């Protein structure tokens, strides 16, 4: 039987009533904490799930109820039938998938529909359609949204790949049809690369996604990675919340995200927003989603993919627009129409999100899991931290290395950079290595400060990893106190 703990915190009776009364959060970490907080503000009860490895995780403490799904650190989070069964048993009328795990799993959405649990996201058909990258490309084409030149559908075999690549020219990107999160993607600079990588991508796709299908498209060298947040209700309302710049990334994994992009003109901003809305309308999208684009050096936008879930970086869009995306997700799932039109939405200032990863940049970004002996969260105007860590918490080695997100806002780009550097300095995490000092080096780089960067920035500047960690006097004192406490077994 599941282990359950229920908090004694009362629900306010003065909050507006939704048709959704109780939400199961099918996730862990900071996004589960984020959803639990949104539920609390809406007067909706929340239910957390956890593995034994997560028994002392923060999301377990923040939800109104928490239920253990077993000792395996991953199986419970990846078992759609078990999760929906628990939702039904606990009286939940909705389920929020967060991001990662089963968030873009059509089967989970289907089982929810079959069991009468509202899936807080798009329909299973839309998830399936946009999760297949060749189908997603076809949808963008039907919406008259430009896509990069590539294969028509999936590749038949290696020789077909060689033929297509010769037609569009190298370099090319070989991609798993069901890929995501930077997996199942290889750049091929010539035919030799293509022949050596073809079977590798097939193998990666099969292991990671259970499908061997791959396709090929022209590689846009060092583009800017621009994505647009969209919201759509069940009544035909579709809007965009402007764009985010995700160009600062390593091996297709985002590190720093910005909103809006300091690299776009207002004309480009409105144009790419309209493209994203076209894609959402074409597929009959409902709830929150993100349409991702590559921006070439000649100013051309190309559709890349659509993420059918809330994004890790939704926070910075919330900061510049004032719209709570997670609460809006729940309201849409409850059948409410969007409370605004496109003309009602504006943005103010600039925001940046830093993914605080438990990794050691100086050691090849190897994971640095372990016990956090001291944690100090930054504060002040325009500073927000979404985290699932606390002093004494042990980061388990089974999950993604991201342990917190630092979000900073300010009115101007220049002021944002100054505030971000101060907030990163204020954020102190002892006991593990993190990417914080590396981000401070990026912030100081003239090219980044000038707002002139692309997806090749990290690889082009390996010297930024040669940082030295300088602690302020109070930080040194805290470190010594942490060491003494640890030695004493406190």
User: What gap in Å lies between CA 291 and CA 308, rounded to an integer?
Assistant: 9
Planar angle of CA 121, 125, 130, nearest 5 degrees: 80
User: What gap in Å lies between CA 251 and CA 302, rounded to an integer?
Assistant: 20
Is 127 in contact with 208 (CB distance < 8 Å)?
Answer: no
* Ordered domains of the chain (ranges, CATH): 4-120 (3.40.50.20), 149-218 (3.30.1490.20), 224-475 (3.30.470.20)
How far is the CA of 184 from the CAs of 7, 255, 264, 365, in angstroms? Answer: 42, 19, 30, 20
Is 288 in contact with 150 (CB distance < 8 Å)?
Answer: no
Residues contacting 330, CB < 8 A, separation 6+: 18, 20, 23, 38, 39, 42, 44, 94, 96, 120
pLDDT at residue number 180:
66
Query: Is residue 404 very low, low, confident or very high in pLDDT (cuts 50, 70, 90)?
Result: very high
| CA-wise closest residue to 324 among 332, 408, 244 | 332
pLDDT, tens only, 301-311: 999 999 999 99
pLDDT, tens only, 178-200: 866 667 889 999 999 999 999 99
Is 269 in contact with 243 (CB distance < 8 Å)?
Answer: yes
Please report, for the chain, how many H helices and E strands are present, in that order: 16, 23
Residues contacting 366, CB < 8 A, separation 6+: 359, 360
| CA-wise closest residue to 40 among 67, 66, 10 | 10
User: What gap in Å lies between CA 389 and CA 429, rounded to an integer?
Assistant: 10
pLDDT at residue number 13:
46
Q: Is the pLDDT of residue 15 over 60?
A: no
Q: Is the pLDDT of residue 16 over 80?
A: no
First to last CA, the chain: 33
How far is the CA of 334 from the CAs of 19, 66, 106, 211, 361, in angstroms? Answer: 6, 23, 20, 34, 43
Segment 450-457 mean pLDDT: 97
Is 65 in contact with 3 (CB distance < 8 Å)?
Answer: no
How far is the CA of 29 from the CAs of 112, 326, 424, in angstroms? Answer: 22, 15, 21
Segment 29-58 mean pLDDT: 98
pLDDT at residue number 9:
44
Is 45 one of the annotated active-site residues of the chain? no
Per-residue HEC secondary structure of 392-459 comes to CCEECCCCCCEEEEEEEEECCHHHHHHHHHHHHHHCEEECCCCCHHHHHHHHHCHHHHCCCCCCCHHH
pLDDT at residue number 207:
81
pTM of the model: 0.90
pLDDT at residue number 473:
56
Q: Are strands 359-360 and 366-367 parallel, antiparallel or unpaired?
A: antiparallel
| CA-wise closest residue to 324 among 408, 403, 253, 241 | 241
3-state helix, strand, coil split of the chain in percent (to 5) is 35, 25, 35
Catalytic residue among 40, 183, 309, 419: 309
Q: What string of DSSP letters covers 278-337?
A: HHHHHTT--EEEEEEEEE-TTS-EEEEEEE-S--TTHHHHHHHH---HHHHHHHHHTTPP
pLDDT at residue number 138:
95
Tokens of residue 88, six digits: 């039904």
> Looking at per-residue confidence, does 180 or 487 come out higher?
180
Q: Is the pLDDT of residue 177 over 80?
A: yes
pLDDT at residue number 481:
54
Q: How many CB atoms lie within 10 A of CB 69?
A: 20
Is 52 in contact with 68 (CB distance < 8 Å)?
Answer: yes
CA dihedral 319, 443, 30, 454 (to 10 degrees): 80
Helix (H, G, I), strand (E, B) or coil at 53: helix
Tokens of residue 253, six digits: 């994994």
CB-based burial of residue 157 (10 Å sphere; 0-12 exposed, 13-18 middle, 19+ buried)? exposed
């Amino acid at each position: 039987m599941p282990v359950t703990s229920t908090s004694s915190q009362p629900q306010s009776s003065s909050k507006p009533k939704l048709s959704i009364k109780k939400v199961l959060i099918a996730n862990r970490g900071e996004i589960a904490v984020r959803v639990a907080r949104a539920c609390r503000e809406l007067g909706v009860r929340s239910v957390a799930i956890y593995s034994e490895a997560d028994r002392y995780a923060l999301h377990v403490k923040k939800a109104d109820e928490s239920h253990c799904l077993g000792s395996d650190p991953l199986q419970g989070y990846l078992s759609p039938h078990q999760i929906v069964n628990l939702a039904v048993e606990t009286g939940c009328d909705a389920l929020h998938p967060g991001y990662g795990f089963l968030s873009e799993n059509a089967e989970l959405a289907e089982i929810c529909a079959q069991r009468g649990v509202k899936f807080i996201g798009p329909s299973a058909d839309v998830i399936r359609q946009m999760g297949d990258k060749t189908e997603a490309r076809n949808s963008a084409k039907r919406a008259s949204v430009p896509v990069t030149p590539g294969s028509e559908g999936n590749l038949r075999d290696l020789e077909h790949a060689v033929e297509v690549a010769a037609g569009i020219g190298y370099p090319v990107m070989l991609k798993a049809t069901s890929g995501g999160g930077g997996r199942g993607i290889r750049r091929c600079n010539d035919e030799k690369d293509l022949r050596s990588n073809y079977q590798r991508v097939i193998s990666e796709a099969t292991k990671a996604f259970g499908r061997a299908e791959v396709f090929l498209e022209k590689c846009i060298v060092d583009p800017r990675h621009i994505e647009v947040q969209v919201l759509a209700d069940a009544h035909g309302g579709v809007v965009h919340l402007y764009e985010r710049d995700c160009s600062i990334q390593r091996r297709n994994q985002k590190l720093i995200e910005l909103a809006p992009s300091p690299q776009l003109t207002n004309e480009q901003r409105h144009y790419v927003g309209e493209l994203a809305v076209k894609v959402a309308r074409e597929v009959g999208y409902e709830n929150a989603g993100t349409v991702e684009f590559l921006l070439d050096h000649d100013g051309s936008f190309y559709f890349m993919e659509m993420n059918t879930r809330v994004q890790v970086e939704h926070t910075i869009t919330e900061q510049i627009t004032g719209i709570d995306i997670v609460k809006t997700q729940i309201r849409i799932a409850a059948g409410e129409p969007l409370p605004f039109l496109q003309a009602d939405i504006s943005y103010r200032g600039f925001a940046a999100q830093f993914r605080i990863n438990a990794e050691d940049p100086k050691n090849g970004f190897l994971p640095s899991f372990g016990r956090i002996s001291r944690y100090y969260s930054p504060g002040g105007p325009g500073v927000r931290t979404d985290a699932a860590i606390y002093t004494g918490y042990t980061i388990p080695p089974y999950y993604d290395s991201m342990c917190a997100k630092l979000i900073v806002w300010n009115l101007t780009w220049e002021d944002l950079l100054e505030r971000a550097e101060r907030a990163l300095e204020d954020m102190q995490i002892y006991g593990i290595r993190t990417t914080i000092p590396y981000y401070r080096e990026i912030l100081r780089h003239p090219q980044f400060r000038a707002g002139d960067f692309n997806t090749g920035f990290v690889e082009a500047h390996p010297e930024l990893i040669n940082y030295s960690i300088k602690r302020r006097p109070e930080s040194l004192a805290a470190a010594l106190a942490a060491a003494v406490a640890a030695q004493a077994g406190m």
